[in-house]
Structure 1
């Protein structure tokens, strides 16, 4: 089973697909650093990201 995430930032169409939630979170952090450098990955933002990860 894999895990997928659509970027939670309005207007961004990035999609992440990995084998585990942890891998998705790592890739999401990399994506945020590259595409959304002003975004702070605080606890609230990380929880929002986790809520949007789905198993497929």
Structure 2
């Protein structure tokens, strides 16, 4: 699953990452924190719906 990271401002593939914390909010842009064990980075990503908007805008560029 490819989601938008608000820390590095890029789309990241979280399928091989470990979910650390799920920040379920009432808004559409709820977030989750994933840990990439390969390089020790953590990513705070938006949900699928919000990430899809960023992915579509990147494809247009």
Length-normalised TM-score, structure 2: 0.26
Look at both structures and tell me which one has the larger radius of gyration over its CA atoms: 2
The structure whose residues are more often helix, as a share, is 1
Q: TM-score, normalised by structure 1?
A: 0.27
Q: Which has the higher contact order (CA 8 A, sep 6+)?
A: 1
Could you say which structure has the higher strand fraction?
2
